[in-house]
Amino acid sequence: MHPRFPIRTLGSIALCYGIAAYAQAQTTTGLTWPGCADLQASDFRKVDLAIAHPASPTKMEIADDGRLFFVNTGGTVWSYDPKTKAVATLEHIAVIGGGTAWGLVGLALDPGFTANGWYYVLFSAKPVGFPTAPVSYQLWRHTLAAGKVDAAASKLVLEYAADKGAFPVDHSGGGMAFDAQGNLYFSSGENSDWNLNYGNVDETRIEFNSLRTAGNSNDLRGKVNRIHPEADGRYTIPAGNLFAPKQDSARPEIYAMGFRNPWSLHFDKPTGTLLIADVGPQAEISDPQKGPAGMDEFDATRAPANFGWPMFMGPNVPYNHYDYAAKKPGVLFDPAAPLNDSKLNTGLRLLPPARPALVAYGKDGANNPWPGFAHGGAVPIAGPIYHYDGKNPSKIKLPPHFEGKWLVADAFQKWIKAIGLDARAEKAVSVSEAFPSMAYASTSAYSIIAMAVGPDGALYYSENGSNLTYRIEYTGSCLPDITPIAIAYRDAKGPEHRVGYPSGRSFFLPPGFARRVRLDRNTPGLSVHDLAGRKLWEYRRQGGEAADVRLPDGLAMGILRVTLSE
């Protein structure tokens, strides 16, 4: 059962077979809630929070009490209290880099942050003796107590090596998020140079070979890793990662692999879905010798997976193992059986099958089934899946139209879009502008660099370069209290089927449940509409017996209205 919505029975109706229709009785007679027609540009406003940032923010987290926390790749950590408008610089961490893709790249608040003050940071550490000393990425747990960082309580949780030669420590990833079980996901980049533009498979130069990192099962780089932080500062390995704990030539921390620069990620607890944005290569045209033009990705998964880089991009479009010494193309990589035969690979040769991106948009416009994406440069940013809470008293929370939609952005192309997902959060069924006609920064190369939904249900985003943080508020009237209750039924011993329906023959079916509705023998069918009243699906029962109707998974996640036929 969905953790957000407890079940309660109505009268003598009881649960049976684990199948229930989840509904909210309501008194409106039309197919829409009052004020819940299609959204308009005038339904939203963008508010500058006027935060005096000490540096340009690159990552942002929001605490349960509404405080905002930020980091900058240069190593600064700071907070903002919306109640007092106070900005507090918490610490400066010694890092290598400080550009757009290395330095202090990751921040996550512990699930118990309000009580324990723990937060996690990921950065390319600057060692004593730099630049000759070995370089590493480090994941630390720091403790905030009485508004100050307790240095004595800091714990080094995990460390992994980085290559640092004549090229920068580039593509570091840095997305971080916790799931409902307290497992920490953190993304790491390929740690390679970005100038090759196509698949990084050059065997002659280490800095242009990501088969040694992203395609290497024995390396934490180019991955999303999943660990369980323990109270003493160490970590354990949760069950169910991509590779077994004692598997040869594979790191047990790896949950998903095959990423170039997974700069941002979120974990959606209600659906158990990991959401990742992976920045693609710069090639703006395809090359008949080296492969396709670059593609940028939004990836989603509910299970461990291989997303393919540097062998594949987007919808599993393959590169070939190009021979840079002989300047000749090699064999195309096979997404069904990816083979890493690089001399720099220290892991498994045969990798798990590649999984295609949820949504990919090509720099040349190819391999992109969705409209509204510009060609050329791109920096995809992962935001959260929005979940509408009718009990939240906030008057600025986003409306239920966004329920179940993944909010994503592009820092370079300067937009925010909403990806509609199917009932399993595994396929995209729509892509649209989230806030029509809203303008974003145009004064700097990068704009929307981090997004999060606050406890008030509004969307917050920060811009890199302009040093601004905004809150997008809803100003419309569609804020219904759609509180789902379980309408359960049992199949009685005998010819009668006892069926529970809310008052009237129309009810709302929120996401996150088994989408099944019980029809008694006197109900010939049902229809499904969205909040704006558009019919999405219709079912007509054949024969005179009662029926369990399963709604198609292809229907988008969201709050659906089910109307029973007379």
pLDDT, mean of residues 391-403? 93
- Residue 440: name the closest of 449, 431, 432 by CA: 449
Q: How confident is the model at residue 428 (pLDDT cuts 50, 70, 90)?
A: very high
- Domains in the chain: ranges and CATH: 1-36+480-566 (no CATH), 44-474 (2.120.10.30)
Of 118-132, 220-234, 395-409, which gets the smallest average pLDDT? Answer: 118-132
Q: How confident is the model at residue 169 (pLDDT cuts 50, 70, 90)?
A: low
* Dihedral Cα 188, 193, 195, 198, nearest 10 deg: -60
Q: Which residues pair with 362 in a beta bridge?
A: 295
Whole-angstrom Cα distance, residue 90 to residue 86?
Answer: 12
pLDDT in tens, 323-339: 999 999 999 999 999 99
pLDDT, mean of residues 385-413? 93
Name residues whose C-beta falls within 8 Å of residue 51's C-beta, 6 or more positions apart in sequence.
68, 80, 87, 468, 469
pLDDT (0 to 100) of residue 336: 98
- Residue 105: name the closest of 60, 141, 163 by CA: 60
The residue among 204 and 39 whose pLDDT is bigger is: 204
Of 6-10, 283-287, 366-370, 386-390, which gets the smallest average pLDDT? Answer: 6-10
Q: Are strands 254-257 and 235-236 parallel, antiparallel or unpaired?
A: unpaired
CB atoms within 10 A of CB 248: 10
pLDDT (0 to 100) of residue 213: 96
| pTM for this model (two decimals) | 0.88
Structure tokens at 186: 């953190």
CA distances for 464 relative to 379, 411, 546, angstroms: 12, 8, 58
Q: How confident is the model at residue 482 (pLDDT cuts 50, 70, 90)?
A: low
Of the ranges 125-134, 184-193, 508-517, which is most confident? 184-193
Average pLDDT of the residues of the chain: 85
pLDDT (0 to 100) of residue 29: 32
**Residues of the chain with pLDDT > 90: what percent?**
60
Structure tokens at 173: 């990833």
The residue among 141 and 531 whose pLDDT is bigger is: 141
Q: Is pLDDT of 466 > 60?
A: yes
Q: How confident is the model at residue 524 (pLDDT cuts 50, 70, 90)?
A: confident
